[in-house]
Amino acid sequence: MKRSIGRRRFLELSAITTAAVVGTTVGEHTLFDAQKAMAQSALYTPPASNRVDTLIDVGWKFHQGDVSNAQTPTFNDSSWSGVTLPHTWNNIDGENGGNYYRGISWYRLHYTIPTAYAGRRFFLQFDGASLVTDVYVNGTYLGEHQGGYTTFRFDATAALKVGSDNVIAVKVNNAFNTNIAPLNGDFTVFGGLYRNVHLLVADNVHMQFSDYGSSGLFVRQTNVSSASATVGVTAEVWNDGTTSQNVTVQTIIVDASNTIVQTLSSTQTLAAHTGAHFVQTTTIANPHLWDGQSNPYLYRVYAQVQVGTSVKDLVSVPLGLRSYSIDPNKGFFLNGHYLDLHGVNYHQDHIDEGWAVSDAQVDQDFNLMIAMGVNVIRTSHYQHSPRFYDNADTNGIVIWSEQPIINGILNTTAFTQNAEQQLTEMIRQNYNHPSIIFWSIANEVGNDSATNTLLQALSNVAHAQDPDRITTLADDTGTFDNVANHTNTVGYNRYYGWYTGSYNDWGSVLTNIHQSFPTRSFAISEYGAGASIYQHQANPTQPVPASASHPEEWQALVHEAAWQAMASRPYIWGKFVWVMFDFASAGRNEGDHPGRNDKGLCTYDRKTPKDAYYWYKANWTTAPFVYITDRRFVTRTTATTNIKVYANTSSVTLTVNGVSLGTKTSTNHIFIWSNVALQVGNNTVQATASQGGSTDTVTWTRQ
C-alpha cells in the first residue's frame, strides 16, 4: 500500500532529547529573552507566515465510472459534470435502499498556482475521501490513501507548475475492499471527495506535513488541577531546503481573551532535508479549566517556526485543561466532580447529501443536540470532520471518538496494518481536542482468537499514541468477555424492547452487570427503537424490527423505560441513545422508507424531532418547557384517549376545547390524563407549564 505518511508514536516523540529552552523563569512563567520586559497582560497578535491554506473546492469535473488515461493532462473532460466539493455520487442511490454504486469515479481540476508562490512547497490536503484515493498532478502519481474518514496529504511540489495550468486528477473508489475497515456496517458507505480539499503552500522550513495528516503540533497536559497544570509541547519541524538552517520554535500560550500566558522558545540546527522534534515543558499556575458545558474554557497554543526573526510557519491548536476519571461504582468524573454523561450516537450524513455536508449543517446538528440537553456524543462509527470536533470543544461536549472496525475483521496483515493506520491517523489528527476523552478501537466484533489479537494490537497503538486518554470499545454481549478486556472501559449495545426482551428488562439487566463485575466500569453505548412520524398506535405493541410498522409511540415507551432505569444508576458512566438522526442504511427495508435506519430521535431531514427527543429534553434541560406527545396522531377514531405530556416543570395544567382538566404533578417528567373525552371533529388540546408559562397546543380530529 502506497501512502504519504510515516510511522511515529507519541511516546517516541516524548523520549527525544528535549531542546534547550531559552528564557528566564518569572514566577510560573518562562519567557523568551527578547520578551522579558513584556507585561503578562499583553495580547498576542499572530504574525504573518509563509503558510497559505487555500480551499480548492470549486471548478471540479466529475465522471462516475473508471476511465482510461483520466490522469493525463491532455485528457478531454469536457463532457464530464461540473461539481463543487464536498461531493458524493451516492447522495440519492445510497439512501433509497437496495444496491448503490460502489466503485471507481474520477475528479479533475484545472488549477493555476500564482507566481508569487514560486520557490515554495506545495501540499494537497484531503479532509476526507471514501474509500481509496489515488492522486495525480500533471500526470505524475503522488500516491494512494486507504481509508475513508481521515485527513491525508501528498507533497505536490515537484509536480505542480507555478504560473501555468495544472491538472489535478483524483481517482476515488468506494468498492468493498478486504484490506480496509469497515468491512461491514449498518450504514451506507458513501463514495467521493466528500470533505474539503486544500492547497497548502509552505516555506522550505515548516511544520511536518507527512505525519499521518496531523498538524505536527502536540500539546500534552498532565497533573491538571485547579492549582496547576503541566503542559508539554512537541513540535515536529522539517527543513526541505538544500542547506542547514538554525531554526527556532517559539510557542505562545494564550488564554480565551488572547492574553499571553506563557512563551517558550527552543532552537536547533536542522540539516537539509531533515527534521527534528522540539520538546518544551512548562507549568500553568491556577489554570482556568475546561469543564464541559458548564465552562468550556479554551486556551490556544501557537507555534511559530522561525529562522532568525522571519516567521516561516505558524500552527495553532486548542488547549482545554481538564482531568477525568471513571469510578466503577460512582461513574464519570470531570475535574474531580461527578458528571452524568448522557447523549447520543451520531452519523454524519444528511438527506439527499450523503456525507457531503457543509460546516453549516454540522453546526445545525450541534444546535439540535444541545437544545435536547446532550453533553456527550459517540462518533458512530468513524472519525468525523474537523468542524465536528471544533464544535465539541467550544460547546463543552465530551466525545467518544471511534475508528471503523465494525462487526468483524479479516485475519490478514493488510487489514491489521490498515486498522492500525486509521487508528493512528484519528488519534494524531485529533490529539489536541479537549472534548475527546475516549478513543474507541472497535464496535461489535467477534470473540475469536484473531479478533482478540487485533484488538490487543489496537489497544497498544492507542496507548502508545496517547498515554493519557481512556480507551474503550462497544460490545454487544453485556458481559466482560475477552473482547471487553482489551480497553480501559467498555460500552454495551443493548436493545431491550426492540431486538430483544422487553423494555421492562432494563433495571434487572443493569443491576446484574454491575453486581457481577463490581470492579469494572461500563457504559450503555447504544439503545433505542425505530420510529416513523407517519405511523401511530394508541396502545402500541412491540413491533417486529424488520417490519413496515414502526409506530412513534412505541419508541417513546422504550426510551422512557430505558432512561428511568439508567438515570438512577450513576455507575453507568455514559448513556448513548442510538441514534440522534435517522440515517442511510442501504440494506434496510423497514418502517416507512427503504434504505433508512429510523431509530433517530429526529428525522433524516432534521425538520421533525420525534416525541422521544422531547422526553430527553424534559430530563436533560432546565429552561421550562412543556410538550404534548402523540401530536402527529391527528386523526382519532375513539371517543376517549389518554393524553401524555412531557415537561421539566413540577406541574402541568391541561385544557381540552377550552375546558380545564386540572393540574397534575409528576416526579418523572411524565404527566398523564386518562380517558379524556374527544368531541366529533376538531379538538384543541393545550398544556401549560407551572413555571415559566410555557404552553404547547395541538389539534386532533375525531372521526
Q: Which long-range contacts (CB under 8 A, 24 or more apart) does 305-309 make?
A: 305/49, 305/205, 305/206, 305/207, 305/235, 305/237, 305/247, 305/248, 305/249, 306/247, 306/248, 306/249, 306/250, 307/205, 307/245, 307/246, 307/247, 307/248, 308/246
Task: State the chain's maximal CA–CA distance in angstroms.
Answer: 89
* DSSP three-state, residue 618: helix
CA distance 583 to 351: 8
- In sequence order, which ranges of 466-572 are alpha helices (DSSP H)? 506-516, 552-567
Query: Contact 646/670 with Cβ under 8 angstroms?
Result: yes
Query: Contact 301/294 with Cβ under 8 angstroms?
Result: no
- In this structure, the strands spanning 299-307 and 152-155 are unpaired
402 among known catalytic residues: no
Burial (CB < 10 A; 0-12, 13-18, 19+), residue 357, is: buried
Instruction: Find all residues with CB under 8 Å of 507, minimum gap 6, and list them.
Output: 565
Query: Contact 327/353 with Cβ under 8 angstroms?
Result: no
CA distance 334 to 652: 35
CA distance 314 to 302: 7
Instruction: Give the closest residue to 67 by CA, choosing from 58, 75, 59.
Output: 75
CA distance 390 to 435: 9
- In this structure, the strands spanning 60-64 and 205-207 are unpaired
Residue with cell 489479537: 453
Of residues 236, 402, 425, 444, which has the active-site annotation?
Answer: 444
Q: How far is CA 266 from CA 20, 221, 269, 358, 390, in A?
A: 6, 19, 11, 39, 29
- In sequence order, which ranges of 127-274 are alpha helices (DSSP H)? none
CA distance 240 to 244: 9
Residues shown for the chain = 703
Per-residue cell: 369: 443536540
Instruction: Find all residues with CB under 8 Å of 74, minimum gap 6, and list them.
Output: none
Instruction: Give the closest residue to 439 by CA, choosing from 417, 424, 450.
Output: 424
* 165 beta partners: 112
- In this structure, the strands spanning 260-270 and 593-597 are unpaired
User: What proportions of the chain, in percent to the nearest 5, are helix, strand and coil?
Assistant: 15, 40, 45
Give helix then strand counts, H and E, for the chain. Answer: 8, 41
Instruction: Give the closest residue to 673 by CA, choosing from 636, 639, 703, 628.
Output: 628
CA distance 96 to 344: 24
**Catalytic sites, residue numbers:** 444
